Structure 1
Amino acid sequence: MAKAVESSSPGAHNGRSEGPAREVLLQAASDLMIELGTPEVSLHAIARRAGVTAPLVKYYFGSKEGLLVALVERDTSRSLAQLDGLNAMAIDPLAKLKIHIAGIVRTYSRYPYLVGLLNHLLRESRTEGSDQIKANFVIPLIDAQRRIIEEGVAAGQFRPIDPDKLYFIIVGACQYLFSSRVAFAEIMDGKLSDEAFAHDFPSAVLDVILNGLRA
């Protein structure tokens, strides 16, 4: 693995190369965060998993923050593309909300470290990486959900409610499940590791929310 990675052409030093080594490093970071149940993983650990030296991480991403931002962008790119498509669909707001919640659950189920990783990056409020995450992920997600709720209120499907408060109710519920799986695994007799639990969770969230949201 190390030989194959280090022989890849790294291209420019600005962290924007799309070569094989870059993807191996991102996957190594993702795998370690899932295994350890935390986004707090060192560059040296990531490099060891990828079979390269730590300086190569900085070569591709400029810094640890650069790697973390790139990982968030990789993990959320598909969801954001689907969200854009969802908002453009000619279906009623209730159907959009169902698809939206299911999409959030799928994303956090696949990348359970994403919650902690986003919080870590956003806490660094004066960095370029934080601004990038806000502009490319957080703000589009908030705006998309806000449009769904406003459309539902205008259509008479939802009662008037502050969409920004609802954002934290919906996203918070989905985030907490997957950020707490490791800590709560034994308490709930292994239920949280059951794929059926994650599969049924969107319906449970939607049911609770709609009981208070329906007009």
Structure 2
Amino acid sequence: MAKADGAAPMTGAGRSEGPAREVLLQAASDLMIELGTPEVSLHAIARRAGVTAPLVKYYFGSKEGLLVALVERDTARSLAQLDELNAMAIDPLAKLKIHITGIVRTYSRYPYLVGLLNHLLRETQGEASERIKASFVTPLFDAQRRIIEAGVAAGQLRAIDPDQLYFIIVGACQYLFSSRVAFADIMGGKLSDASFARDFPATVLDVILNGLRV
């Protein structure tokens, strides 16, 4: 099969870093946001990208490969910021504020992300699932656990199970942003207002931190 215009040579398991690869990833992201679900067909993604479905196999090996690459693209910035946060010489409460705000903003930017992660972890086997766990889920989980434990040890936070808190924080983000399409009409368009997503982190912080402070 001939290469798409501007395509770079494939690397690794059928991958390429050419422009068409990024167009496919962005098409998948845009469709998932518009439809309010990560359940988007391969043909719909290819049609939005203006290419044929076989090009997905050319660039990613399979639809699963495309979805894993999308998760890695969407979480790269958050992981870099998480490393920076871990290195900051600030108290645990300040770290927790930054951490929660970062999670909310990530899921605001990519509202399909939690659903996509769940789909990949549930439906895929072997290498793909392990890559997702190792590259995003485990680092996020471990970083939050360390922040909470440090906050409790410093007397800034009351004792709480860090694992339970993980689901409280992620759950708040997931339900809001994954439900925007379904609840749009019920709430009079409020969920489509950029100010709602912008102000949501402050509300999450207020509720969670008031429940955690000693």
**Which range, TM-score by smaller chain?**
over 0.9
Residues 46 and 13 (structure 1 numbering): CA distance in 2 closer, same or farther, change over 3 Å? farther
Are the aligned partners of 1:79 and 1:107 in contact in 2 as well (CA < 8 Å)? yes
Is 163-172 or 34-43 further displaced after alignment? 34-43
Query: Counterparts in 2 of 1:20-169, with a 5 A limit?
Result: 20-124=19-123, 126-169=125-168
Give the C-alpha shift of residue 117 in structure 1: 0.8
Are the aligned partners of 1:5 and 1:51 in contact in 2 as well (CA < 8 Å)? no
Count of equivalent residues: 213
Q: Name the amino acid aligned to 1:178.
A: F
TM-score w.r.t. the length of structure 2 is: 0.94
Residues 39 and 10 (structure 1 numbering): CA distance in 2 closer, same or farther, change over 3 Å? farther
Partners of 2:58 and 2:3 in 1: CA distance: 16
Aligned to 1:208: 207
Are the aligned partners of 1:6 and 1:52 in contact in 2 as well (CA < 8 Å)? no
Partners of 1:13 and 1:128 in 2: CA distance: 14
TM-score w.r.t. the length of structure 1 is: 0.93
Are the aligned partners of 1:105 and 1:174 in contact in 2 as well (CA < 8 Å)? yes
Are the aligned partners of 2:6 and 2:18 in contact in 1 as well (CA < 8 Å)? no
Q: Which ranges in structure 1 are unaligned for 5 or more consecutive residues?
A: none
Partners of 1:126 and 1:56 in 2: CA distance: 23
* CA-to-aligned-CA distance 1:63-109 (integer Å, 9 cap, x gap): 11000000000000000110110111011111111111111111111
Give the C-alpha shift of residue 13 in structure 1: 6.5
SS in 1 for 2:16: coil
Give the C-alpha shift of residue 5 in structure 1: 4.0
Are the aligned partners of 1:13 and 1:62 in contact in 2 as well (CA < 8 Å)? no
Partners of 1:143 and 1:15 in 2: CA distance: 32
Residues 22 and 108 (structure 1 numbering): CA distance in 2 closer, same or farther, change over 3 Å? same
Partners of 1:158 and 1:128 in 2: CA distance: 38
Partners of 1:195 and 1:46 in 2: CA distance: 25
Are the aligned partners of 1:101 and 1:206 in contact in 2 as well (CA < 8 Å)? yes
The answer to whether residue 158 in structure 2 is matched with residue 170 in structure 1 is no
Give the C-alpha shift of residue 46 in structure 1: 1.2
Give aligned-pair identity as a percent: 84
SS in 1 for 2:15: coil
Q: Which ranges in structure 2 are unaligned for 5 or more consecutive residues?
A: none
Residues 6 and 40 (structure 1 numbering): CA distance in 2 closer, same or farther, change over 3 Å? farther
Residues 75 and 15 (structure 1 numbering): CA distance in 2 closer, same or farther, change over 3 Å? farther
SS in 2 for 1:142: helix
Partners of 1:15 and 1:69 in 2: CA distance: 13
